[in-house]
Chains A and B, each alone.
Chain A
Amino acid sequence: MVLCRAPLFAHDMWIEPRPFRPATGEIVSVRLRVGQDLLGDPLPLDPALVNQFVVKDVAGRRPVVRRDGADPAGLVRVATPGLLVIGYGSNPSALELPAPKFDQYLKEEGLDAIAALRARRGNTGATVRELFSRCAKSLVLSGPPSDEPGDRRLGFALELVAERNPYALRVGQDLPVRLTYENRPLAGALVVAMNRSGPSEKLAARTDSEGRVRFRVPPGGMWLIKAVHMVPAPAGASAEWMSFWASLTFEPGAGGSAGR
């Protein structure tokens, strides 16, 4: 029997709220998912890993009600109509990979600059140590969509920001998304978008000089937009590299409060 599967060492992490379109006053389950091609495993909330677990709406920013060790990892009560931005930022986790696997993962995630840097440095070690952090966001809409306000910045190290409200896009309109690293636009980074109804048909683009990409994200099914950024770890760190995994989920066209 062949146990073939998706690449083992590069899993996405995203937030999958239920529902995406809550009524005002409704409680949203904030479910964290880890996996590949939108086939995710529940990620119970590990108190040692949480750095930020917040929700931001017109009224401001507040913590998500945490459920340590459980799935869903947290709960959000929708106080006012409008767009809610839910964010989960993790502390770094250590990862040690055999060098060939690490190189394969750099290729899969489009981290060409790091691959080139490794080649220039002549890195020949058997294993590579890395610290990875999660920067996941999700957009939940209560009430009718409006153009204002859109996504809000949460201040994650690597962050995807939807520059329009994806729930208010009209037919033929693209969604502009901006990628920032340490609050500055990140140029030349690979950003990938995939939809629940066909996760293997991925949309991919590199960010322009302003850190921007545009995707056509038609309604129907959850969208995941993701990007990975890697930098050399600072001197004294227990690893050679630090990676940041940004994700953004939303579900345009999810009707009413029963949407998945």
Chain B
Amino acid sequence: MTSHSSRRCRVGACLGVLVAALPCGAVVRAHEIGTTRVAVLFQEGRTYGIEIVTDAEALVDKLEAKAGRSPIAETRPARLQSLLTSLDGTFRQRVKVEFGEAEARPEIAYSVAPGSDDMSAPVATVRLTGPIPPGARHFAWTYAWTSSSYAMAVRNAPSENPVTEWLEGGQRSAPIALALAAPAVDRLDTAARYLALGFTHIVPHGLDHMLFVLGIYLLSNRARSVLLQVSAFTVAHSITLGLSLYGLVSVSPRIVEPLIALSIVYVAVENVLLSELRSWRVALVFAFGLLHGMGFAGALEDLGLEHSEFLTALLTFNLGVEAGQLAVIGAAFVLVGWPCAGRVWYRSRVVVPASALIASTAVFWTIERLFP
């Protein structure tokens, strides 16, 4: 009885919508209202989900006929589900998801459940999902696997009341404006995420970058030396990180990665040979920074960049990298520099052995990266 009365309510609601819509103009439906329903949900302007609920047997019959196969009297939900899944290519021929001018190719999942009571037929739920293309302003929908009228309910957020449009099978919906997600919240979230990704790319994941920064630090215990080198390195890697991500510079990781290792060898060896900052060292560190920037770009691309927040992601990732570097220098200063840098043995017992260790590790990496 419950299901009957709820159905009655649903029909009542449908008729209510129909009656309410009539005075608005040309809403004369060409066909009877069927059992198909479509619900569209846009998630924060990023992804879409479209759910078609329809009679499973009727859909399978039409797909089989379209595929040129004889009708089969199949009523078992599991079998209907596997038939639907196998007819995916046919299903897509009469369904169209459009964002602006472009047609989207959604992921489609098919499921079939038994009817709500013993008498009711199995119900197919077809879920279409995918990302909303960046910059899309309008959505349009066409579904031609029904001959009846059906309601499409569209929501821009799960909590929102849906806007309902009545469509005929095969009819293209009017373009539906996409409400964009609030950018402030979105941007802050992206910024925090990429800041953390940038930091962890150095500490703890980027041992090579950590050793390079340590190499820079160990050359001289003068603040000016550290400051000049770190600044040159930072400016340089920011340049190539940006240029690489915008596609303006592209060097294969097979070249960049061994060179990064070699740059560490150089810095560490020079630490053993020199104890004062020379101008060429700053220039070389700048050049090495260019290399490391390309490495950062590769890492960031592997992590995946959100197109809608490209610049935010780029800047905050870079900022995270700086924070990681400063953390390495800060730790070195607190643990080694501050207690030992004034001692006469600091160079012979700390700088030279540590630099030698860094250099030999980096030599190993260079070989490893050249001959993977």
Contacts and interface: CB of A to CB of B under 8 A. Distances in A.
A126 B4 CA distance: 42
A71 B120 contact: yes
B77 to A, nearest CB: 16
Given A67-B119, A68-B7, A41 B36 contact: yes
Nearest to A134: B32
Contacts of B147: 6, 11, 34-36, 39-41
A41 B96 contact: no
Contacts of A70: 4, 7, 119-120
B33 A3 contact: no
A42 B58 contact: yes
Interface in B3-18: 4, 7-8, 10-11, 15
Given A36-B147, A197-B70, A44 B30 contact: no
A202 interface: no
A63 interface: no
Contacts of A210: none
B82 interface: no
A70 B34 CA distance: 10
A42 B34 contact: yes
Interface of B: 4, 7-8, 10-11, 15, 26, 28-36, 55, 58, 61-62, 65, 70-71, 73, 93-94, 96, 103, 119-121, 142, 144, 146-148, 168-170
Contact of A29 (B4, B8, B119, B142): B119
B147 to A, nearest CB: 4
Contacts of B58: 33, 35, 39-42
A6 to B, nearest CB: 8
B11 A42 contact: no
Contacts of B7: 44, 67-70
Given A41-B55, A47-B11, A69-B8, A3 B32 contact: no
A137 B11 CA distance: 24
Interface in A228-253: none
Contacts of B94: 3, 5
B93 A71 contact: no
A97 interface: yes
Interface of A: 1, 3, 5-6, 8-9, 11, 13, 29, 31, 33-44, 46-49, 67-72, 75, 93-97, 129, 196-197, 199, 260
B65 to A, nearest CB: 6
B168 A8 contact: yes
B170 A5 contact: yes
B93, B103, B147 — which one has the most chain A CB atoms within 10 A of its CB? B147
Contact of A75 (B93, B119, B146, B148): B119
Contacts of A29: 119
Q: Which 8 A-B pairs have the closest CB atoms?
A: A69-B11, A69-B7, A260-B73, A96-B28, A41-B34, A35-B147, A41-B148, A39-B62
A37 B61 CA distance: 11
Contacts of A196: 71
A93 B169 CA distance: 18
A1 B103 contact: yes
B8 A13 contact: no
A44 B31 CA distance: 13
Contacts of B93: 1
Nearest to B66: A39
Nearest to A31: B121
Nearest to B72: A260
Contact of A67 (B4, B70, B170): B4
B28 A95 contact: yes
B144 A3 contact: yes
A37 B94 CA distance: 17
A68 B36 contact: no
Nearest to A101: B30
Given A44-B11, A46-B33, A70-B4, A39 B61 contact: yes
18 contacts: A1-B93, A1-B96, A1-B103, A3-B170, A5-B144, A5-B169, A33-B58, A35-B58, A44-B34, A46-B33, A47-B8, A67-B119, A68-B7, A68-B11, A69-B8, A70-B4, A95-B29, A97-B30
